[in-house]
Amino acid sequence: MADPRGFLKVRQRETQPRRPVPVRIMDWKEVYEAQEKGVLKSQAGRCMDCGVPFCHQGCPLGNLIPEWNDLVWRDKGEEAMERLHATNNFPEFTGRLCPAPCEASCVLGINQPAVTIKQVEVSIVDQAFDNGWVTPLPPARLSGKTVAVVGSGPAGLAVAQQLTRVGHTVAVYERDDKIGGLLRYGIPDFKMEKEHVDRRLEQMKAEGTRFRTGVSVGTDVTWEQLRRRYDAVVVATGATVPRDLPIPGRELEGVHFAMDYLVPANRVVAGETVENQINAAGKHVVILGGGDTGADCLGTAHRHQAASVTTLAIGKQPSAERAAHQPWPTFPTLFEVASAHEEGGERTYLASTVEFVGENGKLTGVKVAETEFVDGKRLPKAGTERIIPADLVFLSLGFTGAEPAGITEQVHAEFDGRGNVARDGYYMTNTEGVFVAGDAGRGQSLIVWAIAEGRACAAAVDKFLMGSTILPAPVAPTDRAIAVL
């Protein structure tokens, strides 16, 4: 184990420092600074090596957290990287973007602040890349089987890397001009700079994975053509259909889905020229939805130097402490202050949006009312209406499922009642040889779930192609581990 008395000697949880707000809102670089090595070691040393490490069950990937905490404490960085990569293809993504359900399950968290698992994770992989320890792992031999993976987000990339490494010839199809999905164009650089995506892609290319950008499957090439060309097809297109808010004034100029704001902003940061980009400079901005995407809009608006930013959430403000109905080791809903919230803006809870107000077809404000609960429903309370001035509104209300993209018509794969591509217990749709992984099959979820599903789906595809598999399968579509594939 790590320091046997570490959790007794170091009781304070110390996370990575953030750059000063006045400095960081002037650029698009990552908010966090690297942590001093001695502090990192002492934080890793707080891991208790408890008899039953509940962090394992909190992590969908089953990360071997106590093991690599111990190795970090012992200054064995390369071995720590190997243990980390044994369960996670892309710890540089999860270490920056995952909300860390593992930390909510940390045994130390019962009566002390939890171990800084996420911070240790990202430090391990960053050190590994800096020291050249991350190298390609090409297959020893080729199987002669071919697989098409449609979508290059974390689920699709995990599927592709796992299948490439066991010898299949894998081609990843992406409709955008660059690989990465929402990692590339949905996540702002202040949360994850794109060099982290690029250096992992270089490893995958060296291993043999092939990438096809600018190809919209369903139109440029049909799903049926992919079925005829490849031995298996994996749908990993994500859950990209945004949830709308059909209230009066929705048609006004200035009301946009969050991704219509974030994607062009990311392209501009990458050096591209975007015509008619939505820019919040000098404008009053209202964001509907208090989740991660809303926080991304908030941080982007700060960097655009918006005049004001208000975030509205229809529900109650979460508690700062665990609620009684969310006991340890469950993943609780807590009030969190993301880096974007530190930078400014107003957060309002129990706010029901009633109407978008405008003049001459342009948005001028948002009419809101207090939320009241009637028979379990959240409704606007009469007599509490007020208008918030707004030049821009971003709808950050989540996503309703995968885009159809000809899947049903071309390969007869079915969708379930939640808008997801239906699948069985081994990730296969009702069409033989067509699989689905990640948000396209489970609905909008965490990046750690996308990678876990990608790894498990790869095992299912490998067994379908070869009759057996040596690939690990951390999760099933039912969120239960697959004991034997």
> For each of the chain's 485 residues, which pLDDT tens digit applies?
567 888 888 889 999 999 999 999 999 999 999 889 999 999 999 998 888 999 998 999 999 999 999 999 999 999 999 999 999 999 999 999 999 999 999 999 999 999 999 999 999 999 999 999 999 999 999 999 999 999 999 999 999 999 999 999 999 999 999 999 999 999 999 999 999 999 999 999 999 999 999 999 999 999 999 999 999 999 999 999 999 999 999 999 999 999 999 999 999 999 999 999 999 999 999 999 989 999 999 999 999 999 999 999 999 999 999 999 999 999 999 999 999 999 999 999 999 999 999 999 999 999 999 999 999 899 999 999 999 999 999 999 999 999 999 999 999 999 999 999 999 999 999 999 999 999 999 999 999 999 999 999 999 999 999 999 999 988 877 654 343 34
Tell me the three state secondary structure of residue 292.
Answer: helix
DSSP state, residue 18: B
What pLDDT is stored for residue 475 in this prediction? 81
pTM: 0.95
Give the per-residue pLDDT at 34. Answer: 87
Quick one: which of 477, 472, 467, 354 has its CA closest to 424?
A: 477
Torsion of the alpha carbons at 163, 164, 168 and 174, rounded to the nearest 10: 80
CA distance 186 to 278: 15
Q: What phi and psi values does residue 123 have, to the nearest 5 degrees?
A: -65, -35
In the numeric block, the tokens 């369903």 are attached to 218
Whole-number Å distance between alpha carbons of 158 and 460: 13
Phi, psi of 81 (to 5 degrees): -60, -40
> 329: cis peptide before it, omega within 30°?
yes
pLDDT of 23 reads 97
Q: Which of 38, 37, 48, 36 is nearest to 11 (CA)?
A: 48
| pLDDT at residue 478, rounded to an integer | 62
Residue type, 158: A
Q: What pLDDT score was predicted for residue 8? A: 86
Q: Supply the pLDDT for residue 290.
A: 87
Assess contact for 457 and 434: CB atoms under 8 A: no
